[in-house]
Amino acid sequence: MAAPETLRDEVARDLAPARPLARPAVRSLALVPIALAILVGVPALHRLRYDLLAIGAFRAFGLSAIQAAVGLAIVALALRESIPGRALSKPVLAGAFAAGILVPLGVLAITMQVSLLGPLPGEWFEVGAACFRTSAFAAVPAIAVAGVLVARAFPLRPGVAGALYGLGCGLMADAGLRLYCEMSAPRHVLLAHGGAIAAATVAGMILASVVEKKRRRA
């Protein structure tokens, strides 16, 4: 079966050699410098958490590094999802989103064992809003880079790919935030920190969907 002339001509007009994209896991490494910048930058721009000595190096830096690595792994899954024919199965998707919820909760539980600080009465909203803002801003560059990486592929379910990279970037941003914010009161962490992760997830989903819609129209 031969290709129709019109199709053949159109392909021939734009048949420059094309270099295949690297594997998703390799491409996700482009976000390592951003993850490191968040982990170093957030406490550098503000300060290290006051209870650093009380919780120790592992509970502070170790857990943040683990959370950032999980975030990076979820971004790698988003990059895999954006390759045709490599869509993630429902169990893998469920696992990724479960990890995005359970990892910060686990980090909170471990940290709470030795330090349980909360905002002063009357300051819950102010402190929560500050944490939400810091985390959301920290996630922006990571979401932008992940968005470009996904858009360079061909996400067939852009909403899914976007939600995944938004979640991954939200986790990375929160990993940096918790090196600055010493509050471990569950209400604060769930609403402010968890809210920022959820917002990053939604932002990624919207961004990927909009980009894909524009690309289809182009």
Q: Which residues bind another protein (CB under 8 A)?
A: 1-4, 6-8, 10-12, 14-21, 23, 82-91, 93, 153-154, 156, 216
Residue 120 or 218 with smaller CB distance to another protein: 218
Residue 6 or 121 with smaller CB distance to another protein: 6
Minimal distance, residue 91 CB to another protein, in Å: 7
Q: How far apart are the first and last CA of the chain?
A: 30
Residue 7 or 29 with smaller CB distance to another protein: 7
Please give the single-letter amino acid code of residue 100.
Answer: G
Please list the alpha-helical segments (H only) found in 153-182.
158-177
Beta-bridge mates of residue 117:
183
* Residue 152 · residue 194 · CB < 8 Å: no
Token pair listed for 122: 């009357």
Minimal distance, residue 16 CB to another protein, in Å: 6
Minimal distance, residue 72 CB to another protein, in Å: 20
Residues 6+ apart with CB under 8 A from 175: 35, 38, 39, 64, 65, 67, 68, 71
Minimal distance, residue 30 CB to another protein, in Å: 16
The candidate with the shortest Cα–Cα distance to 104, out of 39, 41, 197, 31, is 197
Minimal distance, residue 52 CB to another protein, in Å: 43
The candidate with the shortest Cα–Cα distance to 163, out of 129, 140, 122, 197, is 197
Residue 89 or 122 with smaller CB distance to another protein: 89
Residue 18 or 120 with smaller CB distance to another protein: 18
Token pair listed for 19: 């270099």
